[in-house]
Structure 1
Amino acid sequence: MKLDVSSLYQKSNRTYALALLRVIIGVFLIRKIFFNITSGEILYGSQSFVAHENIFFLGFIEMGSWIREFHAEITFVFSILCVFMIFGIGKRLTIFFIFLLFELFQRMNGLVLNGGDNLMKFILLYLIFADSFQYFVLKKVSYQNQILNNLNNLFTRLSAYSILIHLCLAYFVSGIFKLHSDVWFNGVASYYTLSLERFQGTPFNEQLAQNGYFITISTYGTLFLELYFPVLIWIKKIRYPLMVAGILLHLSIFSLMMIYDFQFVFIMAYCLFLTNKEWEVLTQRLKSLKFAGKWKIRKLYRI
């Protein structure tokens, strides 16, 4: 089979999803800033509970601990840039600075990070190169020069697939590690998780922990999803059921185990699995359902 390289220079069919992802990330980061603002001094300031050694920004730029004294100002700039990103102001340059500041905050306190923060950092990195400004912006990106336009299309396609492949690798690596754990291999991991006081997200956790069917299905189901998601998600016929299963898995972890940001980051990356055409069809169906609902309510009032 001959590889058509020229197709890489065509306009990406995931520009709507990239734009949606950009907006969602902006809102998500502002929410995170809002909830951490009262704990800023403890998390990132000079009175932080972490060791006050020098900060190695981006892994190689050594910064003194004095940077902690300006954490409030950095947070303010970060929040302004997030608003700019939501509206597409500054385009790729804005996302680049958000990526740098997000990395800086991670370096200032790595003890509060989770897998979602790690994935978020890479999504921001990939978005720097993607054209996520065709929707939900004050002004769209357009290139009159054909070479620049081709490069824009190429980087956009590669960036979108990089996010998807990174997500798949995160699932697969997590599944491999679980497979080498006795509690997961023997199908009882959910029991120990739901029995821990730290993860008592609902009053039903104890009852679920005593249900053998639920424990076995949830444990092996999680293993199956993480190990086979990277392969099965590319098969169009089963993509939608697999995405629904993944969303339900993350929502169950969200509610039962009280692990919040981690789940949201993974779910919002799912939007890239849908093309512009699929998003258009989905939007039309949602509008038709909304119209049908309004019509039924009006009919009910008439009666």
Structure 2
Amino acid sequence: MTNLFANILYSYPRLHRFLYEDTWAIPIDIFRILSGLLGLVYFISLYLEVKDFSSPQGLINHQFMLEQFWWLKINLIQPGVTDNFFYAILIIAMLGTLLLILGVRTRLVAALLFIIAACIQRWNFYVMYVDDAIMHLVFFWLILLPTGKSLNLIDYLRHGSEVIDKWKNQRVPGLAMRCLLINICWIYFFAGITKLTSPLWLNGTALYAILLLPISIAPDFWTPDHVPILKFCSYFSIFIEVSLPFLLVSRRGSYTKWLSMVFVLMLNLGIALTLKIPYANIALVASLVLFFRNELMQYLLNKKIIDEVAAGPKKLWTSQIIAAVFLVILIFSTLRDIPILEKLSYPTTRFLWLGGIAQNYYLFNWIDRLNYHYDQSITFTDALSGETENIDVNSILP
């Protein structure tokens, strides 16, 4: 059976490379460090918002929410907790991000951070959005990625600067990382292609409508005079999102590969600077270190890199198998609007929810369906004279 499997793999070199090719440890650990720094700021923001959202005396009626949505009860946080509980677990999370940055017990720490982020996300379900979804997804991938093999404090304290050369040549299993990159490409592609179902995106006014929402950093800044340039940006953002998955996997050092970096920076930094969605977009920018891992290592090693292909099938570790299965389940869970796949989408979504994962890549394609405002007016008409009088709505409907 093993020989048969090996022969099948050799018949499909790309599949063989995808499953078994090793990758460089340093880019993965740089991503770990960047994610840790981002996670630290994220948990600090949650700490500062405890009184507003997490607190039982905050703006969210958690008991009512749990009564309405029973599946939110699948959570380690239950009614009866106090503000001090949230302050305590968020301090633990902040300390955990520091350990993650330093490379100490990285997978165990990532698991702890994932649990805390996922539980708070569910507890504050009414106000969760893309930032919360992407941040707990990042922590989940850090459980599966082979982190801590380089750029860690313990090795440096033991061996000093001599360990740097070892780090530069350290290679680790690459399947989990490649699955993560497919996940990121799917986020871009799915977010872009689903916007084509929205009339506002198709006529170019979606971005203007979005920038008037409370989620915009400066909603009062935008006026109808900005519509022409925002119309161009609307179409261009769709083009970027749909094309990025193909550009990011271009040949190393090609013009299209470098163009993908420009597009990623333009798209995500543009969103982070105009909308209150900083963490998700910065996390996607941080993933560039993985897409450009070979270019980075070529610079660090100051030589031409020849990618190594495993001579034969090696053992696939449990984390790698979980990464591949998770990726397939995640993709199916997002396809709920395709009739032929709908029956697969909902079970996979439920399965992910049981595991603490909540993902939705329909990003602002709903702008014309769910974004609206209405005006109320009350007019009193005298039955005898026919005279009319406008009544202050607030005096009747406060």
Task: Give the shorter-chain TM-score range.
Answer: 0.7 to 0.9
Specify the SS of the correspondent of 2:80. helix
Segments of 5+ residues of structure 2 without an aligned counterpart are 1-10, 156-170, 303-398
User: Is the 1:40–1:72 contact (alpha carbons within 8 Å) kept by the matching residues of 2?
Assistant: yes
Specify the SS of the correspondent of 1:65. coil
Identity of aligned residues (%): 21
Match of 1:11 in 2: 22
Specify the SS of the correspondent of 2:81. helix
Alpha-carbon distance in 2 for matches of 1:241, 1:6: 25
The one-letter code sitting in structure 2 at the alignment partner of 1:99 is: F
Alpha-carbon distance in 2 for matches of 1:266, 1:126: 13
Match of 2:324 in 1: none
User: Is the 1:205–1:256 contact (alpha carbons within 8 Å) kept by the matching residues of 2?
Assistant: no
User: Is the 2:22–2:172 contact (alpha carbons within 8 Å) kept by the matching residues of 1?
Assistant: yes
The alignment status of 1:187 with 2:204, answered yes or no, reads: yes
Alpha-carbon distance in 1 for matches of 2:70, 2:28: 31
Distance change >3 Å, CA 129–CA 255, structure 1 → 2: closer
Relative to structure 2, which stretch is displaced further, 165-174 or 185-194? Answer: 185-194
Alpha-carbon distance in 2 for matches of 1:30, 1:63: 21
User: Is the 2:131–2:278 contact (alpha carbons within 8 Å) kept by the matching residues of 1?
Assistant: no
Greater share of helix residues, 1 or 2?
1
Match of 1:20 in 2: 30
Distance change >3 Å, CA 208–CA 273, structure 1 → 2: farther
Normalised TM-score (structure 2)? 0.60
Specify the SS of the correspondent of 2:154. coil
Distance change >3 Å, CA 170–CA 6, structure 1 → 2: closer
User: Is the 1:123–1:163 contact (alpha carbons within 8 Å) kept by the matching residues of 2?
Assistant: no
Specify the SS of the correspondent of 1:12. strand
The alignment status of 1:47 with 2:62, answered yes or no, reads: no
Match of 1:256 in 2: 274
Larger Cα-atom Rg: 2
Normalised TM-score (structure 1)? 0.76
Alpha-carbon distance in 2 for matches of 1:270, 1:170: 14
Match of 2:181 in 1: 164
Q: Where do 1:107-186 residues align within 5 Å? A: 107-139=122-154, 153-154=172-173, 157-186=174-203
Match of 1:293 in 2: none
Match of 1:74 in 2: 89
Distance change >3 Å, CA 52–CA 113, structure 1 → 2: closer
Segments of 5+ residues of structure 1 without an aligned counterpart are 141-151, 286-303
The alignment status of 1:226 with 2:241, answered yes or no, reads: yes
The alignment status of 1:103 with 2:118, answered yes or no, reads: yes
Alpha-carbon distance in 1 for matches of 2:28, 2:286: 11
- RMSD between aligned residues: 3.1
User: Is the 2:77–2:123 contact (alpha carbons within 8 Å) kept by the matching residues of 1?
Assistant: no
User: Is the 2:117–2:135 contact (alpha carbons within 8 Å) kept by the matching residues of 1?
Assistant: no
| Number of residue equivalences | 269
Alpha-carbon distance in 1 for matches of 2:248, 2:178: 13
User: Is the 1:78–1:98 contact (alpha carbons within 8 Å) kept by the matching residues of 2?
Assistant: yes
User: Is the 1:178–1:223 contact (alpha carbons within 8 Å) kept by the matching residues of 2?
Assistant: yes
Specify the SS of the correspondent of 2:23. coil
Alpha-carbon distance in 2 for matches of 1:61, 1:37: 19
C-alpha displacement of 1:6: 7.4
Distance change >3 Å, CA 125–CA 37, structure 1 → 2: closer
The one-letter code sitting in structure 2 at the alignment partner of 1:225 is: I
C-alpha displacement of 1:282: 5.0
User: Is the 2:44–2:94 contact (alpha carbons within 8 Å) kept by the matching residues of 1?
Assistant: no
Distance change >3 Å, CA 9–CA 192, structure 1 → 2: closer
One of 265, 282, 288 as aligned partner of 1:247: 265
Distance change >3 Å, CA 167–CA 60, structure 1 → 2: same
CA distances 1:205-262 after superposition (whole Å, capped 9, x unpaired): 448614x2x2332111111111222223212221211221121122222223343223
CA distances 1:86-134 after superposition (whole Å, capped 9, x unpaired): 1111231111111111111112212332223212222221211222213
Alpha-carbon distance in 1 for matches of 2:100, 2:76: 28
User: Is the 1:208–1:215 contact (alpha carbons within 8 Å) kept by the matching residues of 2?
Assistant: no
Specify the SS of the correspondent of 1:67. coil
Alpha-carbon distance in 1 for matches of 2:221, 2:257: 31
The alignment status of 1:92 with 2:103, answered yes or no, reads: no
The alignment status of 1:269 with 2:287, answered yes or no, reads: yes
Match of 1:148 in 2: none
User: Is the 2:217–2:274 contact (alpha carbons within 8 Å) kept by the matching residues of 1?
Assistant: yes
One of 3, 12, 22 as aligned partner of 1:2: 12
Distance change >3 Å, CA 62–CA 200, structure 1 → 2: closer
Alpha-carbon distance in 1 for matches of 2:118, 2:103: 21
C-alpha displacement of 1:31: 1.4
